[in-house]
Chains A and B, each alone.
Chain A
């Protein structure tokens, strides 16, 4: 039986350069708002820097994903406290883009705000799986790899998320038809 060769030591700079975009994308998929994303990404890499000496180097993506997940979870708890104290905390991102015509921009912003409201009703793992698959174009296998779960679990999460979104959307449309 051959001994498994230890993975070469990872450099923090290399990890940062290679995974910065993915970490930002994951945080967005988990529901980290645009205004806080920079702080969240920075916090993730601070943890990475601290824990790098203890990391076995096997599944970098999965390791980073778990750190990001914990940071976003902590942030959500904080947001919940804020929500409790202040009643309403804006969660939707600023999605407007310069250059688009005003009408188009308004329409798109309305759609994005509605999507954000619907996604807020999903739990973190379902939301991340759905956004990564539907919007960011990840494959089921890639999501399974970074989330550290079997592929079938990923499909189940996406299926559940779709069902919840459809139900929420149907309720929203029904209310919109009935009027205020």
Chain B
């Protein structure tokens, strides 16, 4: 029987076989890691009579179950936190605790305690006569502003969850297929502007270095610096360093 990669060189092979052959050719060749070999040997020497992690099969599901329980609890808390915003822990944005100029009538206190959940209901109901309207109105902007600050803070700290990778894919096509580094550069800039900390930011920066270098653009060094600052141990660090050296 011949190997598929050899069969493809012959006539009469179909497209699927050719694709399969390309996939098989792309597989990483096996390389012996001598450092790993030495490391395992040292570990074996240290515990030669030890059974191969007996009970590992049973221990791991236990650990997984524990993680599952704690993960579910964390997810539940997180869900509550998302529902209630930053006022969940009563530290920021809770109207009753932060506003000192709200009158301390019993009814007002009960209203402010339930404030986050009952806000729409309270709006639809007529205001009780006990609460003077002016102080409540003056107190309202502060929680709103702090909630907005909380949302803004959350938005800043949260990574982009629904980013569009189309620009990067098109940039790769522009760079590799159409040989148009200027277009690739523009597309990558668009992606990086929209997703400065996106999942493909590292790849986009590295592609930007490549596109700028192809155009002899001095911005290649700038991209390289940005890449090394963001990913000092990234997989394209050699490329970035080469771009910096070329600039010098």
Interface residues of A in 139-177 (CB under 8 A from B): 140, 155, 158-159, 162, 165-166, 169-170, 173
- Chain A binder among B50-58, B95-103, B111-119: B50-58
Give the contacting residue for A166; candidates B17, B39, B50; CB below 8 A.
B17
- Chain A binder among B125-133, B141-149, B232-240: B232-240
Q: Flag if A45 contacts B28 (CB, 8 Å).
A: no
Total interface residues on B, using CB and 8 Å? 49
Q: Give the Cβ gap from A51 to chain B, nearest Cβ, in Å.
A: 11
Q: Give the Cβ gap from B239 to chain A, nearest Cβ, in Å.
A: 7
The verdict on A1 contacting chain B, using a C-beta distance below 8 Å, is no
Total interface residues on A, using CB and 8 Å? 56
Give the contacting residue for B50; candidates A46, A81, A93, A155; CB below 8 A.
A46
Q: Which residues of B contact A49 (CB under 8 A)?
A: 44, 48-49
Q: Give the Cβ gap from A30 to chain B, nearest Cβ, in Å.
A: 13
Q: Which residues of B contact A133 (CB under 8 A)?
A: 3
User: Besides the contacts A21-B30, A118-B23, what 20 more A-B pairs have beta carbons closer than 8 Å?
Assistant: A21-B32, A38-B39, A43-B52, A49-B44, A71-B52, A77-B57, A78-B60, A78-B61, A81-B60, A93-B28, A103-B176, A112-B28, A115-B27, A134-B3, A134-B4, A136-B30, A162-B20, A169-B16, A169-B20, A173-B19
In the complex, 26 of the A-B residue pairs with CB atoms within 8 angstroms, ordered by the A residue number, are A16-B41, A20-B32, A42-B40, A46-B52, A50-B52, A85-B65, A85-B68, A86-B68, A95-B28, A96-B235, A103-B207, A111-B23, A114-B23, A115-B27, A118-B23, A134-B5, A135-B24, A135-B27, A135-B30, A140-B1, A159-B1, A162-B4, A166-B17, A169-B19, A169-B20, A170-B16
